[in-house]
Amino acid sequence: MLLVLAFGLGLAAFTPGVAQAQGEAVTGTLQTSRSGPIEGIEVVVESTDGERIDAVESDEDGRWSVDLPGPGEYVVSINADDLPEGVTLSGEESRTVTVAEGRRQPVNLGLEDGSRGAGGGGVRAVQLLVDGLRFGLLIAMCAVGLSLIFGTTGLTNFAHGELVTIGAVVAWYINVEGGISLIPAALLAMVVGMGVGALNELGIWRPLRRRGTGLVAALVVSIGLSLTLRYAIQIVYGGRSNPYVQYQSQRAVDYGLFNLTNRALFSIIISVVVLVLVALMLQRTKIGKAMRAVADNRDLAASSGIDVNRVIMVVWMMGAGLAALGGVLLGLSDQVQWDMGFRLLLLMFAGVTLGGLGTAYGALVGSLVVGIFVQMSTLVIPDDMKYVGGLLLLIVILVIRPQGILGSRARIG
């Protein structure tokens, strides 16, 4: 639906009517999603010094192929005036390609049918809405832990983003270096993430609570932890961004109003399922009720026989595991980077603040709004500033309704 390129796949070789050759050739397909394959466009191939090799017309499937005298550089061009109504070239009329020995070189002459950009504003909004939904669910999954940790312990955990990064990076090592498929790798990363969460609680926060460390001191400690972990990850993992080995070259599937790769679809499904499970757990199970009780009033919960430390432990493990899973999904859509978690953390804060600090459902609602807002904002602001929109939203929320959508006034001081 969006921009559809003239896909130069090797398929041309199987098309009847196109010469089959063992030698070098350039091939391609001229089509866009709205117009379908474009027939009868003249494609001219010349050598770099201007000597014409051949000129062919694209067939009924939009395919074309030209045999070449040998390897080297060639110029492939079409005439933009030949294109049917509504279809334009997204780039130059001609493209220079280097053909290696014995290779059928696919050539990508970019065509546009106006479904992206000015022409398809409404459709683009739907597309961004769906992307935003995916992103918002992802933020929500990461932020549930942040919000519950705040609710149960009062700690604003600035190191929560690093739990996201750790999940993504661990899965990357297992997947890319270990050669294990991504789904088990993600599960392993979740287990590692839960372990890191438990270590966090056992090694740092429980002893600090026992010492009676104040909230502000704890806040600065979490900043220190965040810095340490973030830059330690940079040292170990490096500053580059890397993809996972699977599910990378998926083509978007057309759903009418929007396009979605299968990995994005599964990201949405996984997030929804996980979040529903979390909600059910909070609502129905004993430990979930205990969590809400501790978040609501810690002393009252303790005096009614709830083991507060155990509940906090479970919250940490659950939150960290969810953050790790969120990290894997984020790595799947945006590649794995050493500071991905920190950047997401600020959006998580925006989401959690919008929904109401300390409430699990608030984190969900707020994150969804933030995710959709961030993606939709690219309708009016450039792509590289979209996170800024989310951060601005955060400041606006603080002005208008600091307790958030579902929060209570008592919490905000």
Residues that bind another protein (CB under 8 A): 156, 158, 204, 208, 211, 213-217, 219-221, 223-232, 234-235, 239, 343, 346, 349-350, 353, 382, 384-385, 387-388, 391-392, 394-395, 398-399, 402, 411-413
Q: Which of 308, 322, 332 is nearest to 277 (CA)?
A: 322
CB of 322 to another protein, least distance (A): 20
CB of 224 to another protein, least distance (A): 3
Count the Cβ atoms, other than its own, within 10 Å of residue 241: 14
CB of 74 to another protein, least distance (A): 33
- Exposed, middle or buried, 277 (CB in 10 Å: 0-12/13-18/19+)? exposed
Per DSSP, the residues of 67-102 read E-SSSEEEEEEE-GGGSPTT-EESS-SEEEEEE-TT
Asked if residues 43 and 57 have their Cβ atoms less than 8 Å apart, the reply is: yes
Nearer to another protein, 21 or 395 (CB): 395
Nearer to another protein, 228 or 250 (CB): 228
Give the Cα separation of 406 and 41 in Å (integer). 59
Nearer to another protein, 100 or 400 (CB): 400
CB of 404 to another protein, least distance (A): 11
Distances (CA, A) of 52 to 46, 134, 346: 4, 50, 57
Give the Cα separation of 371 and 327 in Å (integer). 15
Nearer to another protein, 101 or 384 (CB): 384
CB of 106 to another protein, least distance (A): 30
Nearer to another protein, 124 or 230 (CB): 230
Per DSSP, the residues of 26-80 read EEEE-EETTTEE--S-EEEEEETTS-EEEEEE--TTSEEEEE-SSSEEEEEEE-G
CB of 236 to another protein, least distance (A): 9
Asked if residues 342 and 393 have their Cβ atoms less than 8 Å apart, the reply is: no
Nearer to another protein, 225 or 260 (CB): 225
Nearer to another protein, 276 or 388 (CB): 388
Helix (H), strand (E) at residue 106? strand 104-106
Nearer to another protein, 129 or 219 (CB): 219
CB of 190 to another protein, least distance (A): 25
What HEC string does 290-334 produce? HHHHHHHCHHHHHHCCCCHHHHHHHHHHHHHHHHHHHHHHHHHHH
CB of 223 to another protein, least distance (A): 6
